[in-house]
A and B are shown apart, each in its own frame.
Chain A
Amino acid sequence: AQSVAQPEDQVNVAEGNPLTVKCTYSVSGNPYLFWYVQYPNRGLQFLLKYITGDNLVKGSYGFEAEFNKSQTSFHLKKPSALVSDSALYFCAVRVPNAGNNRKLIWGLGTSLAVNP
């Protein structure tokens, strides 16, 4: 079965330190990978995506993510965390050309807390 895993329910990091939110996937074929963020009492917002090309993709608010095909991972990173980055982060995968099964597959989310 195709799946996405976010192995950490919660990540705590001090402001100014680098942060990593992990995502691994298990899908057939070459996936399209996405990160979304949900701030408290606000809707989900798109952060970045990997479709093809350079394995390191840059997105909104200084976030970036690295696609690692051999490890089937797509970890979200930021060099210096801000308190305002505290939110719920979701990884999602879509398998292209999968016919009727091309829906987005979502991880369960990782709650990021950045401490001042």
Chain B
Amino acid sequence: KAGVTQTPRYLIKTRGQQVTLSCSPISGHRSVSWYQQTPGQGLQFLFEYFSETQRNKGNFPGRFSGRQFSNSRSEMNVSTLELGDSALYLCASSPGQGPYNEQFFGPGTRLTVL
């Protein structure tokens, strides 16, 4: 099976712009989670989707949004970019919604905001 794929791998944007990141989960996986990884803060949970519904949300401002499509692919959007949004954005998929399921991570999208 192909792993989790994320596009694009690298992005450079300027403050005030918006960005959309894409994630394709492992085939058959219906749960997708998004994380922001920075050196000082570790992994910060953004949101989790299952069957097109947002099941859980982290403590990020409303500028961060996401959605999941019927084929389980997911996108996250960040509007009005700020310098502090520079980070590695990770997508993870798992087979179901059970709390015992491990997550399978994509390589991430490196976002740089200038």
From residue 71 to 109 of chain B, which have CB atoms closer than 8 A to chain A?
A: 90, 92, 99-100, 102-108
Q: How large, as a class, is the contact surface on chain A?
A: 20 to 34
In the assembled complex, A22 has its CB within 8 A of some CB on chain B: no
**B56: contacting residue among A44, A90, A102, CB under 8 A:** A102
In the assembled complex, B42 has its CB within 8 A of some CB on chain A: yes
Query: How far apart are B103's CB and chain A's nearest CB, in angstroms?
Result: 7
A43 engages B100 (CB within 8 Å): no
A100 engages B56 (CB within 8 Å): yes
In the assembled complex, B11 has its CB within 8 A of some CB on chain A: no
In the assembled complex, A108 has its CB within 8 A of some CB on chain B: yes
Chain B residues positioned under 8 Å from A32 (CB to CB): 99-100
Report B38-63 CB contacts with A as 1/0, cut-off 8 Å. 00011101001000000010100000
B90 engages A104 (CB within 8 Å): no
Chain B residues positioned under 8 Å from A101 (CB to CB): 56
A49 engages B99 (CB within 8 Å): no
A106 engages B100 (CB within 8 Å): no
**B42: contacting residue among A42, A95, A96, A108, CB under 8 A:** A108
**With A90-B42, A103-B56, A106-B42 in contact, do A44 and B100 touch (Cβ < 8 Å)?**
no
- Beyond A49-B102, A96-B99, A104-B45, 5 additional contacts (C-beta under 8 Å) are A43-B107, A46-B104, A94-B100, A100-B56, A108-B42
Q: Can you list 28 A-B contacts with CB-CB less than 8 angstroms, sorted by A residue number?
A: A32-B99, A32-B100, A36-B105, A42-B107, A43-B90, A43-B105, A43-B107, A44-B105, A45-B105, A46-B102, A46-B104, A49-B102, A51-B100, A90-B43, A94-B100, A96-B99, A100-B56, A101-B56, A102-B56, A102-B99, A103-B33, A103-B56, A103-B58, A104-B33, A104-B103, A106-B42, A108-B41, A109-B43
